[in-house]
Amino acid sequence: MFVAIIAFIVVFTLVILVHELGHFYFAKRSGVRVEEFGFGMPPRIWGIKKNGTIYSINWIPFGGFVRLYGESANEKAGKHSLISKSPGARFWVMGGGILMNFALAWVLLMVGFWLSMPPMIGPVEDYAPDTQVQGKVMVLQVADKSPAQAAQLQPGDYILSVDGVTANSPAEFKSLLADKSGNTVELQIERANEQIAVSVEPTVTPDGVVIGAWIDRAIQQVRYVWWQVPWIALQETWRIILVVVMAVVGLIYKLFTTASIPPELAGPVGIARITADLVQLGALRMLQFVIFLSINLGILNLVPFPGLDGGRLLFIGLEVVRGGKKISQRVEGVVHTIGFALLMLLILAVTYKDILKWI
């Protein structure tokens, strides 16, 4: 449990710090004064001021933050104030965190693919035909009164070969069965890390020669062409973004139409439980989790809700539509404060729900 807690803190802090680093970078590029870049949350343990920015380490070792001059309503506008910058500059400052979360996912996907991690969305062949895949044929389900049931195949079994010929994918397995109708074939099966041989007599159906089992490919290892990895990772990043967007839209729809918290919505406690489970499954599973978490954080911040980056981007968009006429900074500040309070209430409610599940 201690390792899981540390892993959760490290993972969550990484994706948040990278997000804040995006705001920091584009603020500096735009000439906005960054008053503080903090590791963890206040109160402060230590800090050093350099080029007008305080770099601090704080007592709560969770995430981080960036404090920009001119971000709140009680600060005066000036040359280095956020509010004094053009809508385009403010757009990049507010959207920089989201962009950095997507960039982090892309970089981690490249690392994962160089370590032979399979794609998370879609088959490998969709990305690069030259990729070498090592996999096994896994039995998902066995039909009643089928040859597979008669041979005592079970869900979770791996089919290694047909009459001594290795099958690395469902397509290869089906091709090896194609001319075996009416003949008994020997399947080499892996079950609970032990290999056994079973005999089965395939039958002919409109779908071809079958044994009555639903199968899928369990990828063991993938060897990519190294120079193709950045492009493959970029494609995978885009696919994950689309999947997460659809999931977030679905969650928001359920939240507002049912006036209740969707069961699949997790808060910090829920994410900590997921982290604890994934720690047991190895480094690549944790890497996949960080990738999904980073993209999730980016997409959630795109939601045009007050208090989120998307809410601030919405106000910038309204300013552009109004021909450059700014909405009162005080009004915008009040809206964001109310939005942030509502978000905190939602997080508390989700956390309470997660705790009830745990106990």
Number of C-alpha atoms within 13 angstroms, CB side, residue 145?
Answer: 0
| Burial of 59: CB neighbours in 10 Å, binned 0-12, 13-18, 19+ | exposed
Characterize the bridge pairing of strands 165-166 and 158-162: antiparallel
- What tokens appear for 281 in the block? 């499954």
Q: Which residues pair with 41 in a beta bridge?
A: 60
Q: Which residues contact 164 (CB under 8 A, 6 or more apart)?
A: 186, 188
Q: Which residues pair with 53 in a beta bridge?
A: 50
Q: Which residues pair with 204 in a beta bridge?
A: 209
Backbone angles phi, psi at 166, to 5 degrees: -65, 140
- Would you call 187 helix, strand, or coil by DSSP? strand
Task: Tell me how far apart the alpha carbons of residues 13 and 7 are, in angstroms, rounded to a whole number.
Answer: 10
Q: Which structural domains are found in the chain, ordered by start?
A: 2-33+69-122+227-358 (no CATH), 132-223 (2.30.42.10)
* DSSP label at residue 331: H
Provide the sign of the torsion angle of the four alpha carbons 260, 264, 5, 112, taken in this order: negative
Task: Tell me how far apart the alpha carbons of residues 197 and 118 are, in angstroms, rounded to a whole number.
Answer: 29
Q: Which residues contact 175 (CB under 8 A, 6 or more apart)?
A: none
The pLDDT of residue 104 is 97
The pLDDT of residue 297 is 93
Task: Tell me how far apart the alpha carbons of residues 138 and 203 are, in angstroms, rounded to a whole number.
Answer: 20
Name the nearest CA neighbour of 293 among 331, 258, 261, 267: 267
Name the nearest CA neighbour of 221 among 119, 355, 79, 93: 119
Q: Which residues contact 184 (CB under 8 A, 6 or more apart)?
A: 199, 200, 201
* DSSP label at residue 228: G
The pLDDT of residue 226 is 83
Q: How far is residue 80 from each of residues 21, 30, 71, 85, measured CA to CA in Å?
A: 18, 9, 11, 8
Q: Which residues pair with 356 in a beta bridge?
A: none
CA angle 49, 51, 54 (to 5 degrees): 30
Name the nearest CA neighbour of 60 among 44, 83, 80: 44
The pLDDT of residue 296 is 92
10-residue stretch averages of pLDDT, the chain, 359 residues long:
77 92 95 93 92 92 88 69 90 95 96 86 69 77 85 86 84 83 84 86 79 79 82 92 90 79 70 73 84 93 90 91 83 84 82 70
**Residue pLDDT, tens place only, 24-53:** 999 999 999 999 999 998 899 999 999 889
